[in-house]
Amino acid sequence: MAYNILIVDDSPAMRRVVKRVVDLSGVDTGKYLEAGNGIEALVVLRSEWVDLIMTDINMPEMDGEELLLQVRADAMLASIPVLVVSTDKSEARIKQMMESGADGYVSKPFMPADLSEQMHRLLGGGGTPDEGF
């Protein structure tokens, strides 16, 4: 099964990095969808099938936390796994995001194996993590 992945980050360069790591992870990807903030992400989520949301926290217009809260409050979107990928490594922030409904958290800069492991856990397989990381 190929998975559609929404990457939400205000940095186009970071979206490319995440996409590259996903390509190397062994996860069978259908298509990549991208958004520069939470508002753009909600537009994508209402028009495309998404199997996994990977979101930054600190973004303009609508941050990742507000996006997460809106996704969890929407019956049509609430079951989509959300993986936070953020530079904020504070325990308080990680706890806050997990309590808000995040399914996983990876700190930037991340090791490709960490991102791959979280994706495989959240998607229930879709290949095995690449041990070459």
Q: How far is CA 69 from the centre of its chain?
A: 14
Rounded to an integer, what distance in angstroms lies between the CA atom of residue 50 and that of residue 62? 19
* 0.85 surpassed by pTM: yes
So what's the pLDDT on residue 125?
54
- Measured CA distances, 70 to 22, 41, 63, 108 (Å): 25, 11, 11, 24
So what's the pLDDT on residue 49?
95
So what's the pLDDT on residue 127?
41
Q: Which is the CATH superfamily of the domain at 3-123?
A: Response regulator (3.40.50.2300)
Rounded to an integer, what distance in angstroms lies between the CA atom of residue 74 and that of residue 45? 11
Q: What are the mean pLDDT values of the chain's consecutive 10-residue runs (133 residues total)?
A: 94 94 86 97 97 95 95 96 92 92 91 87 61 38
So what's the pLDDT on residue 83?
97
So what's the pLDDT on residue 27?
83
- Angle between helical axes of 112-123 and 12-25 (0-180°, round to 10): 70
Q: Which of 128, 96, 100 is nearest to 28 (CA)?
A: 128
- Domain assignments of the chain as residue spans, ordered by start: 3-123
So what's the pLDDT on residue 114?
87
